[in-house]
Amino acid sequence: MSYTNGLDKPSDYFSAKLYTGNESNLNITGLDFAPNLVWIKDRTTDHSNCFYDSVRGVQKRLQSNNNEVEGTDAQGVTAFNSDGFSIGNSSSVNQNNDSFVSWNWKESTVAGFDIIAYQGTGSNLDLSHNLSAIPDWIMIKNRSVDQAWRVYHKSMGFSNRLVLSETGGKSTNALGLDADPTSSVINIGTGTGCTNASGENFICYAFKNVQGFSKFGSYTGNGNADGTFVYTGFKPAWVLIKPSSTTGSWYLFDSTRNSFNVTNSRLKVDGNEAESSNIDTLDIISNGFKLRDTNAAWNGSGTTYIYMCFSENPFTTSTGVPATAR
């Protein structure tokens, strides 16, 4: 059975790429789409997690492990291409002989991903989005001044938030939303400088669950080496995990850096550290992932975790038809 067009081929909308830096101009190719969001991390050396998107434009960099204002990196991502992107000689994305990973997304209503740039008003703001469904995950960053990334997850409700650059658990301190988002708008209140300061510029990444492609859920750890199984409905290509009921870092796993189980190569989103692989953490399987370690960072007994997943292979297609195993 071959894939049909659209979301039954996940690599049309999300893909991870590995490359080696050469400290010169470099074209990263081989994607099945023109990326709208590119997230790059050096695996070898301590460098920041770098975000570039086509809405803000080339060379405009944000970093998840700090609260810094948007920077212009003339030697960062210099072009978004039809099958990848181009980079200059910036060490954070192209240090000579270092191993890098880039995670790449296509903005699409079908794929449940929207990038929204807006200017704060200081008063209640109904921010329109193009998901045609209620967002399940929202990240907002002030581009104009140093402010924290605010993260909304549907399981926590609009009055709670997490911070992408910090380890703290969920807090009732305002995300800046004054109601749960709807299928057409994100309701941003007067809030804080993080989400709606008057005259300042912001970027919002909004996601929704798409059957067979993406899942934004939560689970409870059991503190056991025979850990919690998390059903996603597909074989994950990419897994982001964060404790929400207590403190703990944001950790990333993917099947490109670990092509077989047990998955142990992890990167920290709220830090700049190089890749670590000293703990056998989880198995990636055909319909989800299973924890294989007792570490409280991802499997503490009774701890609630949120997760964000994108698909390598669908267990079912976007129309609910079982997919052929691969």
Tens of pLDDT, residue by residue over 51-94, are 999 999 999 999 999 999 999 999 999 999 999 999 999 999 99
* Residues 307 and 269 grouped into a single domain: yes
Rounded to whole angstroms, the Cα distance separating 87 from 26 reads 5
Q: Please give the full DSSP string across 225-276, using - where no structure is assigned.
A: SS--EEE-SEEEEEEEEEESSS----EEEETTT--SSSB--BEESSS-PPPB
Per-chain mean pLDDT for the chain? 92
Residue 189 belongs to a domain = yes
* Residues 62 and 149 grouped into a single domain: no
Contact 74, 64 (CB under 8 A): no
Residue 2 belongs to a domain = no
* Residues 236 and 159 grouped into a single domain: no
In sequence order, what are the residues at sequence separation of 6 or more whose Cβ sits closer than 8 angstroms to the Cβ of residue 151? 137, 138, 139, 161, 162, 163, 164, 175
Residue 41 belongs to a domain = yes
* Residues 151 and 221 grouped into a single domain: no
Q: Please give the full DSSP string across 80-120, using - where no structure is assigned.
A: EETTEEEE-S-HHHH-TT-EEEEEEE--BTTTTEEEEEEE-
Last residue of a domain, one of 189, 207, 225: 207
The two three-digit tokens of residue 137, written as one number: 């995950």
* Residues 77 and 123 grouped into a single domain: no
* Residues 229 and 309 grouped into a single domain: yes
The structural domain count of the chain equals 3
Last residue of a domain, one of 105, 128, 145: 105
Q: What is the mean pLDDT of residues 254-265?
A: 94
Contact 283, 292 (CB under 8 A): yes
Last residue of a domain, one of 79, 105, 131: 105
The two three-digit tokens of residue 46, written as one number: 């301590």
Rg (CA), the chain: 19
pTM: 0.94
Residue 308 belongs to a domain = yes
Model confidence at 189, pLDDT cuts 50, 70, 90, reads confident
Residue type, position 66, single letter: N
* Residues 79 and 22 grouped into a single domain: yes
Residue 271 belongs to a domain = yes
* Residues 227 and 306 grouped into a single domain: yes
Asked if pLDDT for residue 172 goes beyond 90, the answer is no
pLDDT tens digits along 196-238: 999 999 999 999 999 999 999 999 999 999 999 999 999 999 9
Supply the range of the domain harboring residue 92.
10-105
* Residues 178 and 219 grouped into a single domain: no
pLDDT tens digits along 90-132: 999 999 999 999 999 999 999 999 999 999 999 999 999 999 9
Residue 1 belongs to a domain = no
* Residues 120 and 48 grouped into a single domain: no
In sequence order, what are the residues at sequence separation of 6 or more whose Cβ sits closer than 8 angstroms to the Cβ of residue 95? 21, 23, 42, 44, 45, 47
* Residues 232 and 276 grouped into a single domain: yes
Q: What pLDDT score does 173 carry?
A: 62
* Residues 182 and 249 grouped into a single domain: no
CA–CA distances in Å: residue 75 to residues 59, 277, 324: 7, 30, 43
Residue 5 belongs to a domain = no
Residue 4 belongs to a domain = no
